[in-house]
Structure 1
Amino acid sequence: MAHAQRRHLGFTLLELMVVVALLAVVVGMASLSLRDSAAARLDEEAVRLAALLEGARARSRAMGVEVDWQPLSDQPGFRFMGLPDSVHLPDRWLDEDTHAEVIGAPSLVLGPEPVIGAQRVVLSLGERRVVLATDGLGAFAPQTEPELAP
């Protein structure tokens, strides 16, 4: 009888391994959900800017007017040039610390031609960087790491 009582004291090795495995899964999920807020804000800025550029590009083709996009150097924000005053597009970043630089030109040319030249713009927030690019046929989209290499 004493032997039967000892068997029920404590945990078995299998039970301990299951608990450790569950803890590992929970910790892994928690670490994935805790993303760097600067990276998340910059990704949000990149997606928003890509949508704004494509919207302005479509308006440029529909209206038959040349539209350019230029980041402002003296204040946070950007501007769309060439659209009529009746078209109001955002001109501020979601985060005032966001900066942009067009690679190889002072501004992006968005149309009115359906095929534009290949263009790139670098968004930065602190130490983080995201490159939005188009090959001239497709939409502006964030580039992945291998595509960033020269």
Structure 2
Amino acid sequence: MALNRTYLGRLFPATEPYEVTRAAVRAFADAIGDPHPVYHSPDAARAAGYPDLVAPPTFAALVAGNAYWPLLEDPAFGLGPEGTVHLAQRFLHARPIHAGDTLWAEVTPETMDTRAGRDRVVFRSLLRDARGGTVTTVLTTLLAPDPAPSG
């Protein structure tokens, strides 16, 4: 199934916020193998000038993924999660994400095209805090599975 181009440029707000917890920040830092103290110790984070644990910069991908995942599960969108390749990710941070943040995400399929016979989509996910301030913009590029897998 091809990408449904009627989705291009449409804004899809997340239905609920993402609550950033200390446990989530620590688990993410552990998963990427980063022992930096500001990701694990509130005291170290405060000593570095932050209000609480700081999330690693790529933590924003977790929040963005929660925002665009419903589109991948929507059969009308034309690109499902199975076999889809995560091609690229880019982060434009306005400020660090901290434990205690409540983040609201909105996602827009910004670009849809075909490369080497495979559909490609770029999602722009804008993450805002509870006051509406921009925290991070995440650009995620996904590539559809090969339509003719070798056998």
TM-score w.r.t. the length of structure 2 is 0.32
| Structure with the higher fraction of residues in helix conformation | 1
| Structure with the higher fraction of residues in strand conformation | 2
